[in-house]
Amino acid sequence: MSHAYDAAAFEPPPEAEAFYAESLKLLTESGIPFLLSGTYAVTAYTGIVRPTKDLDVFCKAGDYPKILAFFQERGYRTDVEDERWIAKVWQDNYFFDVIFAMSNGTAPITDEWFEGEDTICVYGTEAKITPPTELILSKTFIQDRYRYDGADVAHVILRASERIDWQRLLRYMEPYWEVLLTHLLNFRFIYPTERDVIPTWVMEELTSRLQAQVGLPAARVKVCRGRLFSPRDYVTDITEWGFADVVGKGLEERHEPIA
């Protein structure tokens, strides 16, 4: 499915527009699989238009060095900002992001992300966009004091619910099912008349997990997973309050040894 997109609505500087147009053209010519994500994908599925400062180009981890090398050979400056998830391609003051995993390490970009057929025409180039299921996945953990993408999650569920592969989404979020449940409860609160767009079995599965969890004893190791949402907002929990970070050990509760 091809989605309409009015690039003029964003009114980037002419130099930036030329850079984006050439970059998309070159990405297509490279033959390396990529997806447009972020604001472009949200706009395609919801119709909500908002300014964006750059392009979010998603690719698999094994392909990001190929993209950087391809552009570097053509005189562009490249920068591996964080080898765990993001790099950049620059021309003067303009850049686009090359993203190959979620910043908190919860989800790499895999072949499954490329199974959709949705495209969008941006600056004269037609490119594939992140499918709705993976778009939601990419935004579920963006929750800190400076940026919260929960509204994007709610809007994509509302406007593209029939396109979401709920079994796949639940599989992606298996270790983080409480995060998914939180977003779905938020959706139900925001749109009480639209609750039925979330399949009943999804809510039943997640609430049954919550019900089972309520009666369990606390884990022995004190863990704060807040840094999956915001690395900066939960530093004190790790450095001063004795909680384990996402990896590593924290304070362990005292228990009698098992006989």
Backbone angles phi, psi at 13, to 5 degrees: -60, 150
For 9-62, how does the pLDDT look when each residue is reduced to its tens digit (9 = 90+)? 556 677 888 999 999 999 999 999 999 999 999 999 999 988 776 799 999 999
Residue 75: pLDDT band (50, 70, 90) is: very high
Share of the chain above pLDDT 70, in %: 90
Cβ atoms within 10 Å, residue 116: 19
Domain spans of the chain, in order of start = 1-130, 140-216, 218-259
Question: Reduced to 3 states, what is the DSSP secondary structure of residue 238?
Answer: helix
Asked if residues 174 and 206 have their Cβ atoms less than 8 Å apart, the reply is: no
Over 90: is that where the pLDDT of 240 sits?
yes
Q: Which CATH number fits domain 1-130: 2.30.29, 3.30.310, 3.30.460, 3.30.70?
A: 3.30.460
